Amino acid sequence: MKIRLQHLSLIGALLFSTQLYAQADESAELAALREEIRLMRNEYEARIADLETRLDAAEERAADEPAQAAGPPPGEAYQPPVVASAGTVSVARDNAFNPAIGVTFQGQAWSYQNDPDDYVIPGFPLGGEAGPAPEGLSLAETEISMSANVDDKFTAMLTVPIAIEDGEVAVELEEAWVETLAMPGGLSLRMGRFYSDIGYLNDRHFHAWDFADQPLVYQAFLGGQYLDDGLQLRWLAPADFYLEFTGEVFRGDNYPAGGAANSGMGSATLGAKTGGDIGFSNSWLLGFSWLRADADGRESGSEDDPLLFTGDTDLFIADFVWKWAPNGNSRQKNFKFQAEYLWRNEKGDYSVPGGTEGPWNYDQSGWYAQAIYQPFPRWRIGARYDHLSADTPDSVWQGTPLYPMGHDPKRYSVMVDWSNSEFSRLRFQYNHDQATGMTDNQFGLQYIFSIGAHGAHTF
Amino acid sequence: MKKYIGGVFLLLIISLPITAHARLNVFACEPEWSALADEIGGSLVKSTSATHALQDPHYVEARPSLISKVRKADLVVCSGAQLEIGWLPMLLGKANNPSVLPGRDGFLEASTVVVRLDVPDSVDRAQGDMHPQGNPHIQMNPHNIARVARALGERMALLDPENAEAYTTGTEEFLARWNSAIAGWEARARPLAGERVVCHHKSWIYLEDWLQLEEVATLEPVPGIPPTAAHLSALLQELGTDGSGADAIIRSPFQSAKASEWLQEHTGIPAVMLPLTVGGSEGADNLFGLFDDVIDRLLALKQGPGQ
């Protein structure tokens, strides 16, 4: 038993000692491990610090690029990104100087009771591009526009409409002008081909109008819109309110001028405009303009067998626009009232197909007023009234297109349009047209889409 | 000779009051920049803003009154990044004032001195009215205001060298106050970090970046297209009806409340109007008030109704 006990104690001692040994062995190993971990940690910390500095540097470099985004990790104080000073230069591609290009697509569908080819307003033989759109489906002008600054002193604009005329594709030159940027004293000079600044609608492109056709006064007195080759000088007075004066000289090739009379300086205009705001919600614009045109064999009426006029045209226009939007926030809700009055005197000689000819000196006038209301975003409704009146000429002219009917031509229109975005618009329009002497109910559908360069929000 | 000297003297006397009153004429496209010009230049500056806080600065027309103001401006300062693309080029084209055309000292585009967010790799209008140079609503991060302040102060000093020192001092004094205000805002806004927001339009990404908010959706289906019924019901599906889908629905003063209130009613997520610029709310009567009020309103939402 004793031995057994001794054995046991020996075994116990042995066991104990091995355990001890193992413990000693383990603690050495642990220390080694700890040391290793410490070294590793140091190494990683150094690596992390290195990575952090490299990241900072990368962020700084990235900030030098025009733009980038790197938000801070959640829960930390905001670290504003570093940015280079303004005017960072990037490598320009060859096309970096391409002008701003835009294309406007326009299409329409019209239904008439009377044949639009026979559209004649008695007393007002139409010139230029005036007249109703074709019946049924058709494309209106597809317009390509380009604009850019030429250099530090000039800017240029080109508008090329592509139209289908009598089944043929026709590329026209609508606007091609260069304008000064750096003239002193509030002056600017435009040269080239452009829409005259007279009236309110005349220098606005068709697709920016609120109805799918032109007011009767524009058809009767301006051939749709007065466009010609010439020069325009504009002076903006340094007043506390808007006051602008414009003077133009044109070649005089287009209606209401014609034949580039007066050695190719056939027409001239003068205009003054003023306007302002009333509180935050209302703004207005008032303009007066005068056009003097020499006509030399100017054509109007039927294209195949036109009336010819040689003489002087004096046209006066007064235009007024008033816009309202609650707090000036037109995006939600807005209202626009627009009216123009045109008066003209033509003095000269008319020659009418069929042989009638003789001296002519008569006054004509007309006006339109329209109101457009946007009750909520995207939808607009509008109404327009057109009116023309004319002196009754000598009985010699009875039976010719120059002789007005017994009562004044007039037209009532309503429209509703929907714009998904600034770049798209669909429109329905109804006209009750009493201009020709035969009442016509006209229904029109129109689309206007634009791609490319952002259109301007003109007043 | 005596007469001549007398004449010159008279001329000086006549012209003196004019020069003394010739303040630097600053035309700002947005109220935050006219407020900033006032902070820096004080009485040396006559500033005016083309838009006010209740207008969407993208949908403004080149009104006659604005044309006559640009005509007389010494400095035009705008957010840029195509925010004013619809009307500023037209305005500059009509105003016949060469000294404020882009590229001249009299034109400052604020977004060129900050880091713009959301710069798209490619642009397509199918994705809405996009801004190829990034999101233009830079003013909602006060650090951006600080950067623009420096650039604006330098520009004012350049255009009005007689008072250059005053503009430099004005900038430094403003920045000292501004930076301490930023520290205060950041401390107060800490509980807001990580909040999820639904925005009417992407006008708030600089605020979100600054306060670390997470934008989970917008009420507009694509930028520039007003909220549609279809899009709102899709949002309702996504956000659920128990109020847990997000922490707030944010709109600016010029946006219709209808869409955000409808969504609030159906999802239980609280809707709030936040001023997007100076003048957008009663509290936002200056640049400091603007951020005070934005943070107040967001914190009030967090504390729940009845606060």
Question: What domains lie within chain B, and their CATH numbers?
Answer: 21-185 (3.40.50.1980), 192-302 (3.40.50.1980)
Domain count, chain A: 1
Mean pLDDT computed over A85-95: 53
Does pLDDT of B216 surpass 90?
Answer: yes
Contact (CB, 8 A) for B54 and B253: yes
Cis link prior to A256 (omega < 30° from 0)?
Answer: yes
Residues B257-271: tens digit of each pLDDT: 999 999 999 999 999
On whether any CB of chain B is under 8 Å from the CB of A97, the answer is: no
Q: Report if residue A49 sits inside a domain.
A: no
User: Residue B113: which of A281, A159, A86 has the closest Cα?
Assistant: A86
Cα angle for residues B262, B203, A422 (degrees, 5° grid):
85
Binned at pLDDT 50, 70 and 90, residue A70 comes out as very low
Residue A27 located in a structural domain:
no
Which pLDDT does position A46 carry in this prediction? 66
CB contact (8 A) between residue A242 and residue B103: no
Asked which of A37-41, A269-273, A281-285, B91-95 is least confident by mean pLDDT, the reply is A37-41
Asked whether the beta carbons of A253 and A229 are under 8 A apart, the reply is: yes
Contacts of A283 in chain B (CB under 8 A): 63-65
Per-residue pLDDT tens digits for A265-291: 999 999 999 999 999 999 999 999 999
Alpha-carbon distance A297 to A195, whole Å? 22
Q: How confident is the model at residue A458 (pLDDT cuts 50, 70, 90)?
A: confident
Report how far residue B294's alpha carbon sits from residue A32's, in angstroms, rounded to the nearest whole number: 57
Please give the Cα distance from B130 to B272 (Å, whole number): 25
Measure A29 CA to nearest chain B CA, in Å.
46
pLDDT digit string, tens, across residues A360-416: 999 999 999 999 999 999 999 999 999 999 999 999 999 899 999 888 999 999 999
Q: Does residue A258 belong to any structural domain of this protein?
A: yes
Backbone angles phi and psi of A351, in degrees to 5: -130, 120
pLDDT digits (tens, 9 = 90+) for A2-31: 445 455 454 444 444 444 444 555 566 677
Query: Tens of pLDDT along B104-124?
Result: 999 999 999 999 998 988 888
- A377 neighbourhood in chain B, CB within 8 Å: 226, 256
Asked if B48 reaches chain A (Cβ–Cβ under 8 Å), the answer is no
Of A68-82, A120-134, B231-245, least confident by mean pLDDT is: A68-82
Interface-testing mutation among B48, B59, B90, B215, with chain A (most A C-beta atoms within 10 A):
B59
Phi (first) and psi of residue B2, to 5 degrees = -60, -40
Higher pLDDT: B307 or B128? It is B128
Residues in B 205-234 with any Cβ partner in A closer than 8 A: 209-212, 224-226
Q: Which domain holds residue A188?
A: 100-452
Q: Are A345 and A362 in contact (CB under 8 A)?
A: yes
CB atoms within 10 A of CB A250: 26
Interface test with chain A among B46, B70, B90, B96, by most A beta carbons within 10 Å:
B96
Contact A283 B64 (CB under 8 A): yes
Residue A3 lies in a domain: no
Domain membership flag for residue A45: no
* pLDDT bracket for residue A350 (50, 70, 90): very high
Smallest Cβ distance to A458: which of B55, B62, B98? Answer: B62
Q: Which of B:137-196 have CB within 8 Å of A? A: 141, 143, 147, 151, 186, 193-194
- CATH code of the domain containing A275: 2.40.160.10
CA–CA dist A386, A442 (Å, integer): 15
Q: Give the model's confidence band at A433: pLDDT under 50 very low, under 70 low, under 90 confident, else very high.
A: very high
A324 located within any domain: yes
Q: Which of A73-87, A199-213, A297-311, B128-142 has the lowest mean pLDDT?
A: A73-87
The single-letter DSSP state of residue B128 is: -
Q: Chain B neighbours among A 21-60 (CB < 8 Å)? A: none
Flag whether pLDDT at A301 surpasses 50: yes
- Whether B306 shows a pLDDT value over 50: the answer reads no
As a whole-number percent, the residues of chain A with pLDDT over 90 amount to: 68
DSSP per residue, A6-33: HHHHHHHHHHHHHHHHHHHHHHHHHHHH
In this predicted structure, what is the pLDDT of residue A82?
54
Q: Which tens digit of pLDDT belongs to each residue from B178-207?
A: 999 999 999 999 999 999 999 999 999 999
Q: How far is A182 from chain B (nearest CA, A)?
A: 5
A307 inside domain? yes
Q: For residue B14, is pLDDT > 80?
A: no
User: Which among A214, A254, A232, A233 has a CA at the least distance from the CA of A340?
Assistant: A214
Q: Does B123 touch chain A (CB under 8 A)?
A: no
Would you say the pTM of this structure is higher than 0.90?
Answer: no
Q: In this structure, are residues A156 and A175 in contact, taking their beta carbons and an 8 Å threshold?
A: no
For residue B92, name the pLDDT band (cuts at 50, 70, 90). Answer: very high
Residue A245's Cβ-count burial label (10 Å; 0-12, 13-18, 19+) is middle
Supply A249's token pair.
């000289």
- Bridge partners (DSSP) of residue A104 are A143, A450
pLDDT confidence tier of residue A88, bands split at 50, 70 and 90: very low
For A85-89, what is the mean pLDDT? Answer: 44
Q: Is the pLDDT of residue B3 over 80?
A: no
Decide if A232 touches B, using CB distance below 8 A.
no
Q: Which of A24-28, A163-167, B166-170: highest mean pLDDT?
A: B166-170
Terminal CA-CA length for chain B: 79
The rounded distance, in Å, linking the Cα atoms of A40 and A43 is 5
Residue B226 in tokens: 């007003």
- The whole-chain average pLDDT of chain A stands at 86
Mutation site, A59, A153, A236, interface B, largest B CB count within 10 A = A236
- The residues pairing with B159 across neighbouring beta strands, listed in sequence order, are none
Contacts of B277 (CB under 8 A, 6+ apart): B30, B31, B32, B53, B139, B284, B290
Give mean pLDDT, residues A186-197: 97
Task: Tell me which of A21-35, A93-107, A157-171, B67-81 is least confident.
Answer: A21-35
- Residues from chain A that touch B256, judged by Cβ atoms under 8 A, are 332, 377
- Tens digit of each residue's pLDDT (9 = 90 or more) over A220-253: 999 999 999 999 999 999 998 999 999 999 999 9
User: What integer pLDDT is reported at residue A93 of this predicted model?
Assistant: 63
pLDDT of B4: 57
Task: Flag whether A67 is in a domain.
Answer: no
pLDDT of residue A210: 97
In this complex, the residue of A69, A86, A328 whose CB is nearest that of residue B55 is A328
Q: What 3-state class would DSSP assign to A358? A: strand
Phi, psi angle pair for B61, to nearest 5°: -105, 155
Count each helix (H run) and each strand (E run) in chain A, helices first. 3, 18
Q: What are phi and psi of B295, to 5 degrees?
A: -70, -40
